[in-house]
């Protein structure tokens, strides 16, 4: 798998000594980017290797160093350490400023009890351990790729460019009680509990506001305030907070069922939308479908804590899974992983211009015709490595 050895913690450092001596000097606020590399399973390591190549190139171009260390997670964690999230992996993450994550799971581990399955036993505990409460998912479809979307071209003539912000550590996925029990009459009852505190709503709202301010200053809050108590609190909290702190933003509210329809009807009516955990889970998957291939979609999960640079600690991963159906063939699209690395530079390392540079290189590579099979629409396609080569060629 390219530069990474799965099965041990492996330094992948690009040191200053590796840099060409005649490189033009570019002052940089950060000397070394220290992050954990958790590639995971199936296509995870394949696309991760390419994202790391892109990062190494950009580090050379901009004169900073990478201190990236790989560790097992998911199925690889189960196979090598007996659990999906080995203690050594958690420790490495604690010592890093960010996590670049691939994806975990697949048929090899499907027969394990649900609690031991890679996704549940690795990703959820990671989110909890680092209080990764804010999930940012750009819904981006380039104009040149509108054929990848199931939506009619006339609905998205210029592609799609929206952002979903999902609360990730609260709501019904974590609320207690959460149990299944047999009732005295022999029937069986299962309970999940949806809980939100005002402080949790304000915390995710602040991320949404920052994101909306950097874009079109439009924010839509999605809830189900006509039915759910948590949504009533959600809507009141959002309304009060924005009235007090953000008169510059155009704030709207939408019920989640309507939001699901509007996403399919006219996605670009949204610019940034913010919503609670389960609604965000569902809407962000719908967003992934209308944006064409999962191979193009990145995500960032930002933590409540700060890293050693005083910036948000975060986990950055593609929106898709491990794609076992195409793993091992060298044909997976690495763009989602590369774009996730760009998000890491933006949020956890404060390198906005470098992030934009990578995003522009991906756009340029794809729109000028280099395509993996998932976005080729029957035209000739390239493999994972050649796709990354095209991105690297466009970095300059
Ligand atoms: P998937 O996202 O892996 O694949 C769905 C479809 O999208 C497949 O046809 C696949 O080939 C394609 N696809 C996904 N990423 C691609 C890429 N980079 N390039 C080209 N095509 C790509 O979803 P699935 O098949 O339902 O799940 C497979 C495994 O991944 C399961 O074990 C699931 O639990 C796991 N999963 C993990 C994560 C995660 O780690 N965050 C997320 C979702 C699914």
Is 217 a residue of the active site? no
Rounded Cα gap, residues 231 and 385, in angstroms: 45
pLDDT of residue 28: 52
**pLDDT computed for residue 29 by the predictor:** 61
Q: What is the mean pLDDT of residues 227-240?
A: 98
- pLDDT score of 263 more than 90: yes
> Which three-class secondary structure state does DSSP give residue 373?
helix
State yes or no: pLDDT of 147 exceeds 80: yes
Is 67 considered catalytic here? no
Which runs of E-coded beta strand occur in 240-385?
Answer: 250-255, 272-275, 298-306, 312-318
Residue 11 pLDDT exceeds 60? no
Please give the model's pTM, rounded to 2 decimal places. Answer: 0.89
Ligand 1 mean position to 102 CA, how many Å?
11
Give the count of beta carbons closer than 10 Å to the beta carbon of residue 189. Answer: 9
In this structure, the dihedral spanned by the alpha carbons of residues 23, 29, 32 and 38, taken in order and rounded to 10 degrees, is: -110
Residues 88 and 90: their CA atoms lie apart, in Å, by 5
pLDDT digit string, tens, across residues 25-80: 344 566 899 999 999 999 999 999 999 999 999 999 999 999 999 999 999 999 99
Query: Mean of the pLDDT values across residues 153-163?
Result: 95
* Domains with residue ranges and CATH for the chain: 1-149+294-396 (3.40.718.10), 153-290 (3.40.718.10)
Q: Which carries the bigger pLDDT value, residue 30 or residue 10?
A: 30
Helix, strand or coil for residue 225?
coil
Report the share of the chain in percent with pLDDT over 70.
92
On the CB side of 359, CA atoms within 13 Å amount to 18
Active site residue 241: no
Q: Which of 97-101, 354-358, 377-381 has the lowest mean pLDDT?
A: 377-381
As for ligand 1, residues whose beta carbon falls within 6 Å of it are 43, 47, 103-106, 119, 123, 293-295, 317, 320-326, 332-333, 336, 374
């Amino acid at each position: 798998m390219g530069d990474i050895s799965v099965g041990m913690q492996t330094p992948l450092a690009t040191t200053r000594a590796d840099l060409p001596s005649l490189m033009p000097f570019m002052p940089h606020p950060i000397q070394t980017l220290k992050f954990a590399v958790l590639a995971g399973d199936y296509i995870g390591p394949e696309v991760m290797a390419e994202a790391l190549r892109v990062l190494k190139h950009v580090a050379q171009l901009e004169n900073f160093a990478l201190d990236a260390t790989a560790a097992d997670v998911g199925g690889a964690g189960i196979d090598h350490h007996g659990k999906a999230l080995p203690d050594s992996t958690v420790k490495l993450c604690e010592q890093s400023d960010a996590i670049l994550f691939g994806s975990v799971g697949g048929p090899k581990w499907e027969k394990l009890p649900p609690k031991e399955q890679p996704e549940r036993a690795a990703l959820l505990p990671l989110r909890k351990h680092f209080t990764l409460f804010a999930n940012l998912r750009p819904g981006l479809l380039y104009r040149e790729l509108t054929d990848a979307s199931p939506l009619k071209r006339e609905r998205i003539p210029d592609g799609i460019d929206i952002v979903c912000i999902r609360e990730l550590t609260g709501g019904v996925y974590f609320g207690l009680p959460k149990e299944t029990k047999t009732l005295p009459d022999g029937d069986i009852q299962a309970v999940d509990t949806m809980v939100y505190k005002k402080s949790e709503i304000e915390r995710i709202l602040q991320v949404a506001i920052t994101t909306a301010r950097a874009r079109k200053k439009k924010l839509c809050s999605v809830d189900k305030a006509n039915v759910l108590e948590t949504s009533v609190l959600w809507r009141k909290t959002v309304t009060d907070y924005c009235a007090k702190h953000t008169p510059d933003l155009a704030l709207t509210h939408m019920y989640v069922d309507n939001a699901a329809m509007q996403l399919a009807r006219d996605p670009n009516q949204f610019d940034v939308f913010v919503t609670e955990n389960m609604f965000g889970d569902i809407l962000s998957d719908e967003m992934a479908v209308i944006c064409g291939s999962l191979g193009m979609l990145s995500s960032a999960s930002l933590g409540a804590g700060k890293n050693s640079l005083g910036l948000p600690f975060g986990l950055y991963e593609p929106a898709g899974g491990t794609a076992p159906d195409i793993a091992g063939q060298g044909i997976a699209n690495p763009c989602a992983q590369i774009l996730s690395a760009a998000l890491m530079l933006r949020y956890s390392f404060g390198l906005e211009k470098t992030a934009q540079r990578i995003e522009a290189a991906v756009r340029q590579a794809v729109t000028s015709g280099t395509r993996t099979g998932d976005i080729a629409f029957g035209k000739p396609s390239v493999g994972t490595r050649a796709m990354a080569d095209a991105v690297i060629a466009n970095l300059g």
